[in-house]
Structure 1
């Protein structure tokens, strides 16, 4: 199991076990007691695109994913030759019935088992304002 999915799975289990919402909230987040309206409802297992602050609900699942921004970006710039391709780390708020949690997902991480709550970062735009995600 890769570290990305392990971290997301662990975070989801912590929220489910505690039954409370995470105290970590984005400055772009909703007011207390209100959940943001999803920008879109997407089918599970399909790739979808989010811009900073956008949220999507996963159809048929009690799961929503909101992209809050990049945490770091060490990717090789376009038209440059780099020894290491680098990585981008994107921060998400993952909401379920039991509450929400913040998860940092890395580019390039693949593999491991998938379940209905798996959230995977597929790609990050060059400017870092848009991500492609796969969930559920």
Structure 2
């Protein structure tokens, strides 16, 4: 009798496991979990200005063949709120810079402070500068000039 209950439990577990995987295989969207970026969306912005991007979001620069996507936070040594720190710290963020019309792209790591690396880069006849990083790293403001 115990063997029958064990076999029934194992069968039920297998059915649940297969059923859980079938929603992914069937193409139904799987919602983003905590800490996972939402699907990318594109915002349009004028050149010579600041734009704030959420993690995974992309900005298309009006009048230029240039898009900027905030792809990930590489590192974050910034001082946390309500803490006393000797050094302010820095965040390093990765961006994908693209020229969609030419089919070219490059990645750039920009830093929130000057101590460990560049705060700006040049691409597609534009300068892209990291202006600020949100407290939780989910948002970054860049200046395009």
TM range, normalised to the smaller chain?
Answer: 0.5 to 0.7
Listed as ranges, the gaps of 5+ residues in structure 2 are 1-36
| Superposition RMSD in Å | 2.6
Which protein is bigger by CA-based radius of gyration?
Answer: 2
Aligned match for 2:131, one of 103, 109, 122: 122
In 2, distance between residues paired with 1:52 and 1:79? 25
- The equivalent residue for 1:65 is 68
Structure with greater helix share of residues: 2
Q: Which residue in the other structure is 1:10 paired with?
A: none
How far does residue 112 in structure 1 lie from its aligned partner after superposition? 8.4
Q: Which residue of 2 aligns with 1:75?
A: 78
- Structure 2 CA distance, aligned partners of 1:113 and 1:50? 17
Change (3 A) 1:114 1:102: closer
Select the residue among 94, 104, 117 that pairs with 1:91.
94
Match of 2:105 in 1: 100
Structure 1 unaligned runs (5+)?
1-27, 29-35
Q: CA deviation at 1:80?
A: 1.4
- Which secondary structure does the structure 2 equivalent of 1:118 belong to? strand
- In 2, distance between residues paired with 1:57 and 1:113? 17
